[in-house]
Amino acid sequence: MKTKEISLIAVIAALYAAMVIVLAPISFGPVQLRLADVLIPLAALLGLPVVYGVTLGAFVANAYWFMSPIDVVFGALANLVAGYIIHRYKDKLVPASVMASVVIGIMVGGYLWMFFPPPSILGLQLPAWLGMIISVSLSSLVAVAVLGVALVKLLQQSKYIEQLNA
Protein backbone atom coordinates (compact mmCIF):
# COMPACT_ATOMS: atom_id res chain seq x y z
CA MET A 1 0.00 0.00 0.00
CA LYS A 2 1.33 3.41 -0.96
CA THR A 3 1.95 6.26 1.47
CA LYS A 4 -0.70 8.34 -0.29
CA GLU A 5 -3.32 5.62 0.29
CA ILE A 6 -2.37 5.20 3.96
CA SER A 7 -2.59 8.96 4.42
CA LEU A 8 -6.04 9.04 2.81
CA ILE A 9 -7.22 6.22 5.08
CA ALA A 10 -6.01 8.17 8.11
CA VAL A 11 -7.62 11.43 7.00
CA ILE A 12 -10.98 9.82 6.20
CA ALA A 13 -10.94 7.81 9.46
CA ALA A 14 -10.13 10.89 11.52
CA LEU A 15 -12.74 13.00 9.75
CA TYR A 16 -15.42 10.30 10.11
CA ALA A 17 -14.68 9.73 13.81
CA ALA A 18 -14.53 13.46 14.55
CA MET A 19 -17.84 14.13 12.81
CA VAL A 20 -19.57 11.31 14.71
CA ILE A 21 -18.12 12.35 18.07
CA VAL A 22 -18.79 16.08 17.65
CA LEU A 23 -22.30 15.40 16.37
CA ALA A 24 -22.95 12.63 18.93
CA PRO A 25 -26.47 13.80 19.86
CA ILE A 26 -27.67 13.03 16.32
CA SER A 27 -25.16 10.24 15.56
CA PHE A 28 -26.34 7.72 18.16
CA GLY A 29 -29.66 6.38 19.32
CA PRO A 30 -32.87 5.02 17.84
CA VAL A 31 -33.27 8.00 15.53
CA GLN A 32 -29.83 8.83 14.24
CA LEU A 33 -28.52 10.86 11.39
CA ARG A 34 -24.83 10.10 10.97
CA LEU A 35 -23.72 13.01 8.86
CA ALA A 36 -20.29 11.39 8.74
CA ASP A 37 -21.87 8.80 6.43
CA VAL A 38 -21.72 11.39 3.65
CA LEU A 39 -18.09 10.28 3.36
CA ILE A 40 -19.00 6.69 2.37
CA PRO A 41 -19.90 7.51 -1.28
CA LEU A 42 -16.45 9.05 -1.71
CA ALA A 43 -15.36 5.43 -2.25
CA ALA A 44 -16.70 5.87 -5.79
CA LEU A 45 -14.13 8.61 -6.40
CA LEU A 46 -11.19 7.72 -4.19
CA GLY A 47 -11.41 3.94 -3.97
CA LEU A 48 -10.62 1.46 -1.24
CA PRO A 49 -8.80 3.91 1.05
CA VAL A 50 -12.20 5.52 1.71
CA VAL A 51 -13.73 2.10 2.44
CA TYR A 52 -11.01 1.38 4.99
CA GLY A 53 -11.16 4.92 6.37
CA VAL A 54 -14.91 4.95 7.08
CA THR A 55 -14.57 1.49 8.61
CA LEU A 56 -11.76 2.56 10.93
CA GLY A 57 -13.55 5.84 11.68
CA ALA A 58 -16.74 4.03 12.70
CA PHE A 59 -14.73 1.66 14.87
CA VAL A 60 -13.02 4.57 16.66
CA ALA A 61 -16.21 6.62 17.07
CA ASN A 62 -18.25 3.68 18.34
CA ALA A 63 -15.45 2.71 20.73
CA TYR A 64 -15.28 6.30 22.00
CA TRP A 65 -19.04 6.40 22.71
CA PHE A 66 -18.93 2.80 23.88
CA MET A 67 -22.31 1.12 24.06
CA SER A 68 -21.39 -2.49 23.42
CA PRO A 69 -18.76 -4.57 21.63
CA ILE A 70 -21.57 -5.46 19.22
CA ASP A 71 -21.88 -1.82 18.17
CA VAL A 72 -18.14 -1.30 17.84
CA VAL A 73 -17.65 -4.35 15.62
CA PHE A 74 -20.87 -4.48 13.62
CA GLY A 75 -21.13 -0.71 13.14
CA ALA A 76 -17.67 -0.72 11.57
CA LEU A 77 -18.52 -3.84 9.56
CA ALA A 78 -21.65 -2.13 8.21
CA ASN A 79 -19.50 0.73 6.91
CA LEU A 80 -17.03 -1.74 5.39
CA VAL A 81 -19.78 -3.52 3.45
CA ALA A 82 -21.54 -0.28 2.46
CA GLY A 83 -18.32 1.35 1.31
CA TYR A 84 -17.31 -1.70 -0.68
CA ILE A 85 -20.71 -1.82 -2.42
CA ILE A 86 -20.30 1.80 -3.50
CA HIS A 87 -16.70 1.22 -4.57
CA ARG A 88 -17.63 -1.91 -6.55
CA TYR A 89 -20.66 -0.36 -8.27
CA LYS A 90 -19.33 3.19 -8.63
CA ASP A 91 -20.69 3.48 -12.17
CA LYS A 92 -24.20 3.14 -10.71
CA LEU A 93 -23.69 5.49 -7.78
CA VAL A 94 -27.30 6.19 -6.83
CA PRO A 95 -28.50 2.55 -6.77
CA ALA A 96 -25.27 1.51 -5.02
CA SER A 97 -25.77 4.22 -2.40
CA VAL A 98 -29.36 3.13 -1.81
CA MET A 99 -28.20 -0.47 -1.44
CA ALA A 100 -25.42 0.63 0.93
CA SER A 101 -27.98 2.54 3.02
CA VAL A 102 -30.21 -0.51 3.29
CA VAL A 103 -27.23 -2.64 4.30
CA ILE A 104 -26.37 -0.15 7.06
CA GLY A 105 -30.02 -0.10 8.14
CA ILE A 106 -30.25 -3.87 8.32
CA MET A 107 -26.90 -4.41 10.01
CA VAL A 108 -27.10 -1.55 12.53
CA GLY A 109 -30.86 -1.62 13.05
CA GLY A 110 -30.58 -5.39 13.41
CA TYR A 111 -28.82 -5.00 16.75
CA LEU A 112 -29.62 -1.44 17.86
CA TRP A 113 -33.13 -2.41 18.95
CA MET A 114 -31.53 -4.38 21.80
CA PHE A 115 -30.22 -1.14 23.32
CA PHE A 116 -32.95 1.43 22.54
CA PRO A 117 -36.69 1.30 22.16
CA PRO A 118 -37.56 1.79 18.49
CA PRO A 119 -39.10 5.04 17.32
CA SER A 120 -42.74 5.13 16.36
CA ILE A 121 -42.98 5.08 12.57
CA LEU A 122 -46.17 6.69 11.26
CA GLY A 123 -47.90 5.58 14.44
CA LEU A 124 -47.51 1.91 13.51
CA GLN A 125 -46.73 -0.68 16.16
CA LEU A 126 -43.95 -2.62 14.47
CA PRO A 127 -41.72 -5.26 16.02
CA ALA A 128 -38.79 -3.53 17.71
CA TRP A 129 -36.19 -4.93 15.31
CA LEU A 130 -38.19 -3.92 12.22
CA GLY A 131 -38.89 -0.40 13.49
CA MET A 132 -35.20 0.13 14.18
CA ILE A 133 -34.14 -1.26 10.78
CA ILE A 134 -36.58 1.08 9.04
CA SER A 135 -35.47 4.07 11.13
CA VAL A 136 -31.74 3.52 10.56
CA SER A 137 -32.29 2.76 6.84
CA LEU A 138 -34.24 5.99 6.32
CA SER A 139 -31.65 8.13 8.09
CA SER A 140 -28.87 6.38 6.20
CA LEU A 141 -30.66 7.08 2.92
CA VAL A 142 -30.56 10.79 3.76
CA ALA A 143 -26.86 10.77 4.70
CA VAL A 144 -25.50 8.37 2.08
CA ALA A 145 -27.84 8.38 -0.91
CA VAL A 146 -28.86 12.04 -0.81
CA LEU A 147 -26.14 14.11 0.86
CA GLY A 148 -23.24 11.76 0.06
CA VAL A 149 -24.18 11.43 -3.61
CA ALA A 150 -24.58 15.22 -3.81
CA LEU A 151 -21.07 15.62 -2.34
CA VAL A 152 -19.65 13.18 -4.92
CA LYS A 153 -21.38 15.03 -7.78
CA LEU A 154 -20.06 18.35 -6.48
CA LEU A 155 -16.52 17.00 -6.22
CA GLN A 156 -16.71 15.43 -9.68
CA GLN A 157 -17.36 18.89 -11.12
CA SER A 158 -14.34 20.37 -9.38
CA LYS A 159 -10.73 20.00 -10.43
CA TYR A 160 -9.74 18.97 -6.89
CA ILE A 161 -10.37 15.22 -7.37
CA GLU A 162 -8.31 15.19 -10.57
CA GLN A 163 -5.40 16.73 -8.65
CA LEU A 164 -5.84 14.30 -5.77
CA ASN A 165 -5.83 11.27 -8.06
CA ALA A 166 -2.77 12.49 -10.01
CATH of the domain at 112: 1.10.1760
Phi, psi of 66 (to 5 degrees): -60, 125
* pLDDT tens figures, 98-146: 999 999 999 999 999 899 887 776 677 788 889 899 999 999 999 999 9
pLDDT tens digits, one per residue of 53-69: 999 999 999 999 998 99
Alpha-carbon separation of residue 97 from 12, 43, 150, 162 (angstroms)? 18, 10, 11, 22
Alpha helices in 65-148 (DSSP H): 69-88, 93-112, 128-140
Entry pTM: 0.93
Report the distance separating Cα 117 and Cα 59, nearest Å: 23
Average pLDDT, the chain: 93
pLDDT at 31: 81
| Domains of the chain: total | 1
User: Residue 120 has what pLDDT?
Assistant: 73
The reported pLDDT for the residue numbered 47 is 96
CB 90 within 8 A of CB 43: yes
Closest by CA position to 46, among listed 156, 134, 127, 125: 156
Percentage of the chain exceeding pLDDT 90 = 80
- Over residues 26-45, the mean pLDDT reads 93
User: Domain span at residue 124?
Assistant: 3-165
